[in-house]
Chain A
Amino acid sequence: MSWNVGAVVGLALLNAALVLVLAPLAEGVMRKLRALIHSRKGPPIRQPYLDLAKLLAKEDLRVTPGLFYAVMPSLTLGAVLVLATLVPMGARPPLGFAGDVVVLLYVTAASAVLMMLTAFASRSPYAFVGGSREMMLLMAVEPVMAVALVTGAVKAGSLSAGAIMEWNAANGPTLSMAVAGFALLLALQAQAGRLPFDIPEADQEIMGGTFIEQSGPRLALFRWAMWAKQLVVALLLVELFVPWPRFGLLPVDLVLALVKAMVVLLLVAVIDAVNPRLRIDQAISYYAKVAFSSLAALAFAVIGM
Chain B
Amino acid sequence: MTGLLLSLVLIPAAAAVAAAWSTARAVRAIAVAASALTAAGAVWAATTVWSGPYRDLFGELPWLAGIADSLVFGVLLDPLSTTLLLVVTLIGFLTVLYSTAYLSTANRGHATPDHDQPRYYFWLLAFLASMTGVALSPNYLQLFVFWEMTTVCSYALISFYRDRDGLRAGFKALVMTGAGGMFFLVALLILFVNTGSFDFDAAARLPGPLRGWFVVLLMVASWAKAAQVPFHTWLPDAMAAPTPISAYLHAAAMVKAGVFLMARTVAAGWEVPLPVALVLGGMALLTIFVALSFYFVQDDLKRLLAYSTIAHLGYVLLGIALGGLGSSTALRGGILHILCHGFGKATLFLCAGAVAYATGSRSISALGGVARSMPLTATAFFVGTAAVTGIPPFACFWSKLMILAGALELPGAIGPTLVVVLLAESLISFSWMLYVGQKVFFGATTPVAMVHKDPPPAMSISLVVLMLGCLAAPAVGLALLWR
Please determine if A and B sit in direct contact within the complex, based on CB atoms under 8 angstroms apart.
Answer: no
- Interfacial residues, chain A to chain B (CB-CB below 8 A): none
- Interfacial residues, chain B to chain A (CB-CB below 8 A): none
